[in-house]
Amino acid sequence: MMMTLRGPRLMGLSLVFVAAMMLGLPTAVPAADKNEIVIGATLPLTGMLSMMGAEQKWAYEQAAADINAEGGIYVKEYDKKLPVKLIVADNETDAGKAVAAIERLVKVDKVDFLLSDSTLPLVMPTAVAAEKWKVYYHATICLLPPWQEQKFKWSTDYFFDGAQATAVPFEVLDTIPEADRPKKLALLAEDSTDGRILGPIFKEAGKQYGYEFDYEEPVAVGSKDYSSQILKLKSKGIDGAILFAGSGDCVTFVRQMKEVGLNLKYLHGYKGTWGTEFWNALGQDAEYILADGFWSETYPYPRAEEIGERYYQNFNKRSVSIGLFYALCQTLFQAIEAAGTLDGAKVREAVLTTEFKGTVMGDIKYNPDGTAVFPLAAFQWQEGLLRRVYPFVEGASPVLIAPPWDKR
């Protein structure tokens, strides 16, 4: 077997090499005198969710730049305004990597606070990590029930309320004259964490509004072929549906719907239908399809329009989510100022007790259990633009019924 005996020496060498690399990693000196607030975030900058991560990162950076333009956040403990330093680490759209990235933010970058990662499969493990290292984690885009179940002490979660969010389609449907309403509804929720959690809640909400699903089945993630399912829908005479799936899957689904000739008067997409890319991929076929959204630049709140416009200037497209991330930063900054300290526990306390006024999401108030909710919006593709149809506050458009494919 001729074992090589030079291994140990090589190993020693490589240990030296590793040590050298460690030194190469910049290590923050724990400052006796604070001159900045370090806020870290792990985000999917690469991998499947890198689009979302990029958007979220942009919103965080805007908020940090905006507050720094005002000189920073006044912290009573130091009796001065401290600028915000934002550090974003990549999680490669992988929970394990996200946890490792938190470890680095905490130990190398010595962050004072953590801002939210993206989507439940990444937010939950990072919330656990924050719990381990006792750093305050200001989270969002994580369905509330799983988060509540864990009884986290070091994080909060700002997200839509399941009951409200799942009621949206029914509230919208209720605005349609009874004769035009779809008769048979289907619930198609993606076979993922979110889909599994939301599925039953949709049913519950439907019941409350007097709607029943005549068909429901999980939708396989990333499948290139949904025709089997669409055939089932057709054979059951379905004419309205809620589709919870990623954007690629939604594109495939809608295309095959048209191919197979399944006519839906009302298709309310969740998660996969709001992107500009969805429209680009489907063109006119996307018309009349509804989409969810965390936020709208048509909201009548301070700076909402401005932030939306800034995003448009930068990326030449509209977003229905950046406002949420921007508002998340706004509430964190306000809470830090209110707490007057960089102590995580106290800032969390401040988050729970402060009434946040005038964010781009409107006013926000956290519950004692660490959650806060915002209303989920609904949009409909009309002439290539997302028109807000819900909530029915100022600026909302009426919903349109989709004609059959051959009548368009």
234-253: contacts with other proteins (CB under 8 A): 235, 246-249, 251-252
Calpha distance 372→352 (Å, rounded): 9
Judged by CB under 8 A, which of 77, 208, 222, 403 binds other proteins?
A: 222
Tell me: does residue 69 bind other proteins (CB under 8 A). Answer: no
Judged by CB under 8 A, which of 34, 66, 146, 343 binds other proteins?
A: 146
Judged by CB under 8 A, which of 29, 32, 79, 149 binds other proteins?
A: 149
Binding mask 40-59 for other proteins (x = CB under 8 A): -----xxxxxxx--x-----
Judged by CB under 8 A, which of 65, 71, 96, 309 binds other proteins?
A: 96
Bridge partner residues of 87 (DSSP): 40
Q: How far is the CB of 121 from other proteins (least distance, A)?
A: 6
Size of the residue set binding other proteins (CB under 8 A): 97
Residue 241 identity (one-letter amino acid): A
Could you count the other beta carbons within 10 Å of the beta carbon of residue 192?
20
Percent composition of the chain: helix, strand, coil (DSSP 3-state, to 5): 45, 20, 35
Residues in the chain: 408
Tell me: does residue 340 bind other proteins (CB under 8 A). Answer: no
Nearer to other proteins, 80 or 408 (CB): 408
Tell me: does residue 368 bind other proteins (CB under 8 A). Answer: no
Structure-token pair, residue 215: 């068909």
Structure-token pair, residue 190: 């993606």
Calpha distance 323→297 (Å, rounded): 8
Tell me: does residue 131 bind other proteins (CB under 8 A). Answer: yes
Binding mask 171-210 for other proteins (x = CB under 8 A): --------------------xxx-xxx-------------
Task: Of 242, 265, 263, 259, give the one whose Cα is nearest residue 378.
Answer: 242
Judged by CB under 8 A, which of 132, 207, 357, 408 binds other proteins?
A: 132
Q: How far is the CB of 164 from other proteins (least distance, A)?
A: 21
Tell me: does residue 89 bind other proteins (CB under 8 A). Answer: yes
Calpha distance 154→131 (Å, rounded): 5
Calpha distance 292→273 (Å, rounded): 8
Tell me: does residue 29 bind other proteins (CB under 8 A). Answer: no
Structure-token pair, residue 96: 């394990």
Judged by CB under 8 A, which of 108, 176, 352, 393 binds other proteins?
A: 108
Helix (H, G, I), strand (E, B) or coil at 115: strand
Tell me: does residue 34 bind other proteins (CB under 8 A). Answer: no
Judged by CB under 8 A, which of 71, 237, 261, 403 binds other proteins?
A: 261
Tell me: does residue 75 bind other proteins (CB under 8 A). Answer: no
Q: Which stretch binds other proteins (CB under 8 A): 83-91, 176-184, 350-358, 360-368?
A: 83-91
Q: Which string of b and e fits 384-396 if b means at least 16 CB within 10 Å?
A: eebbbbbbeeeeb
Alpha helices in 25-161 (DSSP H): 50-69, 95-107, 120-133, 144-150
Tell me: does residue 263 bind other proteins (CB under 8 A). Answer: no
Judged by CB under 8 A, which of 214, 217, 287, 343 binds other proteins?
A: 217
> CA 207, 208, 210, 211 torsion: positive or negative?
negative
